[in-house]
Amino acid sequence: MTPLKRFYNLLELDKKDVLQIFFYAIFAGLISLSLPLGIQAIINFIQSGRVSASWIVLTIIVVAGVALVGILSLMQLRITENLQQKIFVRSSFEFAARLPKIKFDALYSTYPPELANRFFDTLTIQKGTSKLLIDFSAALLQIAFGLILLSLYHPFFIVFGIMLFFLLYFIFKFSYKSGLETSLKESKFKYKVAGWLQEVARNNFSFRNQLNYDYALHKNDLLVNDYLNYREKHFNIIKNQFIQLILFKVLITASLLAIGGYLVLSQEMNIGQFVAAEIIILLVITSVEKIIIGLETFYDVLTSVEKIGQVTDMDLEEEAYESYDNCYTNISLETENLIFKFPEAEQNTLRRISLKIEQGERIFIDGKNGSGKTTLIRILSGLLQPTTGSFYINDDTFKKINLKQYRSQIGSIIYGETLFEGSILDNITFKDAAITPEDLKWAIHGVQLTNHIKSLPKGLDTIVFPEGKQLSSSNSQKILLARSIIHKPKILFYEDPTDTMDESTANEIIDFITSKEHTWTIIVSSKNPYWRTKSNRIITMQDGKILLDSKN
């Protein structure tokens, strides 16, 4: 889909508001262009040396016309403000709804925070769309009405209209493609600079070393140079358009003044018509100037729509709408000849994995780095989908299972998962009203978090910084563990869930989670050997295959 088509689809959503803006623009344009006619009549009265009631009435009408144009502009501003708010709300929910649901394959070669940063293009779309709808609509209509009005004064002005039409056509035709391409390239490196600054901020401790600090500045310099290069190319296109406009203004103004003067001297026009025609010509040229200058805004809006469109084009996980009750009882998992390959990888990460897991098993997945244990856990938890082979849940193929329903029955800690900005309570419960105080107390106590929360002045209402920066890694992990068990799920999927804790605390938490009173299935990979002793089944992996599957 082209950027222009995306922009059209965006406006189509608020077609009624856009049409209202055009209606007010048409009305305001007609009034604006009727003012020169009123001025022409007033000058004729003044030339005749007569002061009459008609002269006073015309003056009042002209002034009232100016006021009415202002009121119409104010009404347009109100509509465009509503439009801007709609664009912002719609875009924010589009991102919030899509980011957690984008397929892994689509996210594989991207950096999710960079995708989220594209939301700021919404601001450009807001302001740019408002400017385009008001200024462009008014300018185009003033040009159209002005040329029609000028043609009534003398046939020569028709030639002026044709010249003007070809000017706008050629400027747009020969600069649109290059203008949009350079704008997209400029935007690309703008985000690369922002992304790098984000990396420096995220790893600010690492860049405090002078050598690393110099590297950060050097890389920033390279990215900024690329940005400036494409920014300069884009500016040159805008500059060339403006130069063409200046030449046109000089040529047309000189020609029209000379020819208008000749028409007055030859008595083919009176002085009032000459003044009115010159006012209309100035309005038309000013409108053309608005359009040419506004092309930069036009490129910015199309670029922003395209950048956001690249996010909204990403494939989302397919959701089944049928209801399957089998996920609400015991859950058994089974794979047959399951194969998984990462995008652009040369070899399979998992190779013909066949296994069956029954409700209540405690499974420890062992293996060296790169053996495939993490990938297997993520497939079983529904985070990844197999490349080939079968994955069954309760004897039903994975593709038919309602992912939303399945995920509501599992708890997980995936490597790299962190806390979000919000209270400790929100990080554990996500404001789920169904969670009782008893369940909350049970989960907090079970993961050894009670004493820490009691030591905080605001307790569970203590605000956590992004990624839990003000908390110890141990307490952050305990909050994640509490989150994973708060709903008492059927299955727990863990990747290194206790590895930042001291040994005694970790072992106590492991004893609680693996206690026989809990009927959930546990599938865990960890460097802590105590998990292995509390498991009743050990799966050893090597090179993407199950090397050994034994009872403990």
Query: 195 with 114: CB under 8 angstroms?
Result: yes
Express as a percent the part of the chain with pLDDT over 70: 91
Q: How far apart are CA 38 and CA 85, in angstroms?
A: 39
Question: How many residues in the chain?
Answer: 552
Per DSSP bridges, beta strands 410-413 and 362-367 are: unpaired
The confidence score (pLDDT) of residue 487 equals: 92
**Confidence class of residue 493 from pLDDT cuts 50, 70 and 90?**
very high
Residue 69 has pLDDT above 80, yes or no: no
Q: Mean of the pLDDT values across residues 296-310?
A: 89
55 vs 252 pLDDT, higher one: 252
Going from the C-alpha of 335 to that of each of 346, 394, 549, the distances in angstroms are 23, 11, 14
The confidence score (pLDDT) of residue 139 equals: 78
Residue 299 has pLDDT above 70, yes or no: yes
For 313-339, b where at least 16 C-beta lie within 10 A, e where not — what string?
Answer: ebeeeeeeeeeeeebeeebebbbeebb
**Confidence class of residue 32 from pLDDT cuts 50, 70 and 90?**
low
Of 69-83, 222-236, 370-384, 457-471, the one with minimum mean pLDDT is 69-83
327 vs 93 pLDDT, higher one: 93
Q: Where residue 39 sits, what CATH number does that domain have?
A: 1.20.1560.10
Q: How far apart are CA 301 and CA 295, in angstroms?
A: 10
Q: How far apart are CA 312 and CA 256, in angstroms?
A: 50
Looking at the domain assignment, is residue 317 inside a domain?
no
Q: Is 300 in the same domain as 340?
A: no
Using a 10 angstrom Cβ sphere, with 0-12 exposed, 13-18 middle and 19 or more buried, the burial of residue 71 is exposed
The confidence score (pLDDT) of residue 356 equals: 92
Tell which of 279, 312, 345 closes a domain: 312
**Confidence class of residue 43 from pLDDT cuts 50, 70 and 90?**
low
Query: 58 with 38: CB under 8 angstroms?
Result: yes
Residue 311 has pLDDT above 70, yes or no: yes
The confidence score (pLDDT) of residue 520 equals: 94
Residue 320 has pLDDT above 70, yes or no: no
What secondary structure does DSSP assign to 334-398, as a single string? EEEEEEE--TT-SS-SEEEEEEEE-TT-EEEEEE-TTSSHHHHHHHHTTSS--SEEEEEETTEEG
Looking at the domain assignment, is residue 495 inside a domain?
yes
**Confidence class of residue 449 from pLDDT cuts 50, 70 and 90?**
very high
The confidence score (pLDDT) of residue 274 equals: 72
Looking at the domain assignment, is residue 100 inside a domain?
yes
Residue 51 has pLDDT above 60, yes or no: no
Query: 300 with 7: CB under 8 angstroms?
Result: no
The confidence score (pLDDT) of residue 41 equals: 66
Q: Is 396 in the same domain as 437?
A: yes
Residue 328 corresponds to which tokens in the numbers above? Answer: 């609400």
355 vs 136 pLDDT, higher one: 355
Looking at the domain assignment, is residue 318 inside a domain?
no
Going from the C-alpha of 489 to that of each of 325, 329, 342, 522, the distances in angstroms are 15, 11, 29, 10
Supply the angle between the helices 121-131 and 3-12 in degrees, to the nearest 10. Answer: 70
The confidence score (pLDDT) of residue 6 equals: 87
Residue 230 has pLDDT above 70, yes or no: yes
Query: Nearest-5° angle of CA 510, CA 539, CA 403?
Result: 80
Q: Where residue 445 sits, what CATH number does that domain have?
A: 3.40.50.300
Q: How far apart are CA 328 and CA 330, in angstroms?
A: 7
Query: 478 with 497: CB under 8 angstroms?
Result: no
Q: How far apart are CA 35 and CA 182, in angstroms?
A: 41
Q: What is the mean pLDDT of the chain?
A: 84
Q: How far apart are CA 43 and CA 39, in angstroms?
A: 6
Residue 328 has pLDDT above 70, yes or no: no
For 474-495, b where at least 16 C-beta lie within 10 A, e where not — what string?
Answer: bbbbbbbbbbbbbbebbbbbbb
Residue 322 has pLDDT above 60, yes or no: no
Q: Is 108 in the same domain as 206?
A: yes
Dihedral sign from CA coordinates of 314, 11, 183, 181: positive
Q: How far apart are CA 58 and CA 42, in angstroms?
A: 7
Tell which of 249, 280, 312 closes a domain: 312
Going from the C-alpha of 22 to that of each of 19, 60, 145, 298, 375, the distances in angstroms are 5, 27, 14, 17, 55
Helices (H), ranges, 313-331: none
Q: Is 356 in the same domain as 288?
A: no
Q: Mean of the pLDDT values across residues 288-313?
A: 86
Q: Is 287 in the same domain as 386?
A: no
Q: Mean of the pLDDT values across residues 290-295?
A: 80
Q: Is 176 in the same domain as 29?
A: yes
Q: How far apart are CA 415 and CA 152, in angstroms?
A: 75
Looking at the domain assignment, is residue 12 inside a domain?
yes
Q: Is 352 in the same domain as 208?
A: no
238 vs 171 pLDDT, higher one: 238
* Nearest C-alpha neighbor of 191 from the set 88, 106, 115: 115
Query: 460 with 425: CB under 8 angstroms?
Result: yes
Looking at the domain assignment, is residue 319 inside a domain?
no
250 vs 401 pLDDT, higher one: 250
Q: Is 202 in the same domain as 226?
A: yes
Residue 324 has pLDDT above 60, yes or no: no
Q: Is 157 in the same domain as 28?
A: yes
Per DSSP bridges, beta strands 350-357 and 537-542 are: unpaired
Q: Is 436 in the same domain as 503?
A: yes
Q: How far apart are CA 229 and CA 103, in angstroms?
A: 34
**Confidence class of residue 52 from pLDDT cuts 50, 70 and 90?**
low
The confidence score (pLDDT) of residue 29 equals: 66
The confidence score (pLDDT) of residue 413 equals: 92
Q: How far apart are CA 6 and CA 89, in angstroms?
A: 18
Report DSSP state, residue 136: I
Of 105-114, 351-360, 532-541, the one with minimum mean pLDDT is 105-114
Q: How far apart are CA 391 and CA 338, in angstroms?
A: 7
Residue 353 corresponds to which tokens in the numbers above? Answer: 């994995």
Dihedral sign from CA coordinates of 456, 506, 413, 207: positive
Query: 481 with 489: CB under 8 angstroms?
Result: no
Q: Is 270 in the same domain as 336?
A: no
Count of CB atoms situated within 10 Å of the CB of 395: 8
Q: Is 262 in the same domain as 377?
A: no
Q: Tally the domains of the chain.
A: 2
Looking at the domain assignment, is residue 298 inside a domain?
yes
The confidence score (pLDDT) of residue 396 equals: 67
Question: Residue 15 belongs to what domain range?
Answer: 3-312
Query: 478 with 443: CB under 8 angstroms?
Result: no
Q: How far apart are CA 295 and CA 179, in angstroms?
A: 9
Tell which of 265, 288, 312 closes a domain: 312
